Structure 1
Amino acid sequence: MSVLQWALLIVGAAAVIAVYVISRRSNRLPKDWEPPSARGNVPRGVPGLPGKPGSDQMDMFAQGSRGGEFDEFGVGKPRKRAEPGLFGEAEEPAAAPAAPKVEEKIVTLLIAEREGTAIFGPKIHLALQAQGLAFGEHRIYHRQQGGKTVFSVASLVKPGLLDPAEQQGFSTPGLTVFMLLPGPAKPGAALQDMISTAQSLANALNAEVFDASRQPLTPDNARTLKADVGAWAQRNGIAL
């Protein structure tokens, strides 16, 4: 394949991976997020029970007696009571230490047809299914564990779709196999599965496996890739 072809394919693969990673991040909600119905929101209106004059004031004082939700005068902003400290001052509860942030890492392999020609849709989908990959989110294929994605396979050509419903008439010069760490599986086992799957796909498609630098995935390059993932895991305190 020419340098220009490689450049176009890598740009397309990078775009596919970027869209996938961004969409995964946008789907993650904060840990403390709750639906509005769980936050105790109630419609605004006249306090108190209808037909009972003054019940709003009684209810206000009753709330104060149930836990000091208002100040000493029964009005104003609700506040929480705190136990006095050693010198009679209220002590703020100690904040829980923030969990260390884990660095995300993307691992990528490329599968390109040996002669630089196209690989046709039916052959691609048979090979993907033979490796136990599941078609799903973003209309590409995934290795899943416990319903979560370990790594994914997309077309090298943007937008990367591999829809089995459109396999007739579809062709691509190759595939990109990519993984976002951390994931549901241990990184060492996930990487080994990703490499083995890529090599099996290449054998079935008359193709070769390359690393992200367009170098053939030789045993030495595979060891370098594994060492890189191992260093990432060590930096982030993650077991291989």
Structure 2
Amino acid sequence: MDELRWTLLILGALIVAGVYGYSRLQDWRKDGTPWKRSSQRREPFANEAEPDLSGPDPLLDDPEDNDIVGPARVVSATEEPESVVPAGEPEISATDDASVEATESEPEVAGDQVAHSAGGDKVVVLTVMAPKGTRFSAQDLVRVLQSSGLRLTEQGVLRRGLDTGQGTVALFTAANIVEPGTFDPDSLETATTPGIALIMQLPGPFDGLATFEQMLTTAQRTAEQLGGVVLDGRRCDLTTQSIEHIREELLEYRRRAHLASRRGA
């Protein structure tokens, strides 16, 4: 029994030694023998001369870097930093920036249909005209417009009002096309007119596009009941294309108004 145990121990030792010898032989085939590798083990940059630390810093003295990073200086807490303009880009002055802002805030105007001043006002005008050679009865006009929600004011114009916390404001106004643009309440039965102008002015405490739809509906209903025709602010045909153009202008006006309110906030 003892002889068998010793035999197994010797066989195990021989197996371990054989595995170790085989692994070392594979390493020698790959990397070479140890006495050859010792002469090759040298630290990197061993042949390079050590840099002179007493000399100037080559990074700070590089003329190309000076174009990017300028000399250091002390800036006081109250001093405004200088604006930096990247190379190759034109510098924009304050006046140029103001002109760009003005251009963005003023979309193109299609005739007199959507007009605005430098202050950002917009005016949308529709006209309802009687057939050529005829005139509307002022009394009939007032009656139809009042049925659409407009009210005759003391100034002689009809207005569609909106109640707000600051009082009643006009969504849009219907005025006589004939100077001075008013209707005399005392002579409505006998007065006539070739047409009326419906006017909406922005900005206001209401949505311009929704108000335009009301104004367009009022103009179409008036023309239908009195036998007239709806035209634009220049008294040209109000086509589907011109209506869509006005809507696009009002959507753009709404977008810019929202942007302006965010900047103000």
Scaled to the shorter chain, the TM-score interval is 0.5 to 0.7
Aligned to 1:217: 238
> Equivalent residues in 2 for 1:56-75 (5 A)?
none
- Return closer, same or farther for 1:222/1:116 CA change in 2, 3 Å cut-off: farther
Distance in 1 separating the partners of 2:259 and 2:224: 33
Distance in 2 separating the partners of 1:110 and 1:180: 15
The correspondence for 1:103, drawn from 99, 112, 120, is 120
Distance in 1 separating the partners of 2:251 and 2:208: 8
Kept in 2, the 8 Å contact 1:128–1:201? The answer is yes
> Equivalent residues in 2 for 1:227-238 (5 A)?
227-237=248-258
Aligned to 1:18: none
Distance in 2 separating the partners of 1:166 and 1:118: 16
**Residue 118 (1) aligns with residue 118 (2):** no
User: Once superposed, what is the RMSD of the aligned Cα atoms?
Assistant: 2.4
Q: Give the unaligned 5+ runs of structure 2.
A: 1-76, 79-104, 106-117, 261-265
Describe the superposition over 1:46-102 as per-residue Cα deviations: whole angstroms up to 9, x where unpaired: xxxxxxxxxxxxxxxxxxxxxxxxxxxxxxxxxxxxxxxx99xxxxxxxxxxxx996
AA aligned to 1:162 is F
Aligned to 2:53: none
The structure carrying a bigger helix percent of its residues is: 2
**Residue 141 (1) aligns with residue 162 (2):** no
Distance in 1 separating the partners of 2:244 and 2:154: 31
Instruction: Using the TM superposition, give the Cα deviation of residue 169 of structure 1 relative to its aligned residue in structure 2, in angstroms.
Output: 1.4
The correspondence for 1:192, drawn from 213, 223, 234, is 213
Instruction: Using the TM superposition, give the Cα deviation of residue 232 of structure 1 relative to its aligned residue in structure 2, in angstroms.
Output: 2.1
Distance in 1 separating the partners of 2:178 and 2:248: 29
Q: Percent identity?
A: 28
Instruction: Using the TM superposition, give the Cα deviation of residue 217 of structure 1 relative to its aligned residue in structure 2, in angstroms.
Output: 1.6
The correspondence for 2:181, drawn from 160, 166, 186, is 160
Q: TM-score, normalised by structure 2?
A: 0.49
Aligned to 2:92: none
AA aligned to 2:226 is L
Q: TM-score, normalised by structure 1?
A: 0.54
The correspondence for 2:203, drawn from 165, 168, 182, is 182
- Return closer, same or farther for 1:102/1:126 CA change in 2, 3 Å cut-off: same
Runs of 4+ in 1 over 4 A off after TM superposition: none
Kept in 2, the 8 Å contact 1:140–1:154? The answer is yes
Aligned residues: 142
Kept in 2, the 8 Å contact 1:153–1:176? The answer is yes
Distance in 1 separating the partners of 2:216 and 2:259: 20
Distance in 2 separating the partners of 1:225 and 1:182: 15
AA aligned to 1:129 is Q
Aligned to 1:207: 228
Aligned to 2:147: 130
Distance in 1 separating the partners of 2:250 and 2:188: 34
Instruction: Using the TM superposition, give the Cα deviation of residue 237 of structure 1 relative to its aligned residue in structure 2, in angstroms.
Output: 2.4
Describe the superposition over 1:136-187 as per-residue Cα deviations: whole angstroms up to 9, x where unpaired: 1521000001011010001100001123332021010000000110123211
Distance in 1 separating the partners of 2:196 and 2:139: 14
Distance in 1 separating the partners of 2:125 and 2:201: 9
Distance in 1 separating the partners of 2:240 and 2:154: 32
